[in-house]
Amino acid sequence: MVPITTLHYLVVAAALFVLGVIGVLTRRNVVIVLMSIELILNAVNLNLVAFSRLWGLHGQVFAIFVITDAAAEAAVGLGILIAFFRNKETVNVDEVDLLKW
């Protein structure tokens, strides 16, 4: 069997990244769009940790910072979502069109 190299991890991370992008671009439900953003961030984290096998621990430290950012982003995003739901009774992205001309 082929030994598992860094490239294998990068391919898995790229597949996960593309899945996340598809979710962000096509879904209507804001909650699922936020979850797709988490998928994208996780794909990046997998890349960082896979490269940290080659170039020391900096990648893992950066992955921890990315996880911190993901937590902050989820908290603020879901807060915005609750405020929006209270005003418009919907969580669909294509109904958030106040700024659309």
The least distance separating other proteins from the CB of residue 47, rounded to whole angstroms, comes to 11
Burial class of residue 19, CB neighbours in 10 A (0-12, 13-18, 19+) = middle
Residue from 44, 74, 98, 99 touching other proteins (CB under 8 A): that is 74
C-alpha 87/C-alpha 90 separation (Å) is: 8
Rounded to the nearest whole angstrom, what is the least distance from the CB of residue 101 to other proteins in the complex? 17
Shortest Å, Cβ 99 to other proteins: 17
Is the CB of residue 16 less than 8 Å from the CB of residue 43?
yes
Q: Is 94 in the site for other proteins (CB under 8 A)?
A: yes
Q: Do 28 and 91 contact (CB within 8 A), yes or no?
A: no
Residue among 56, 96, 97, 98 that touches other proteins (CB under 8 A): 56
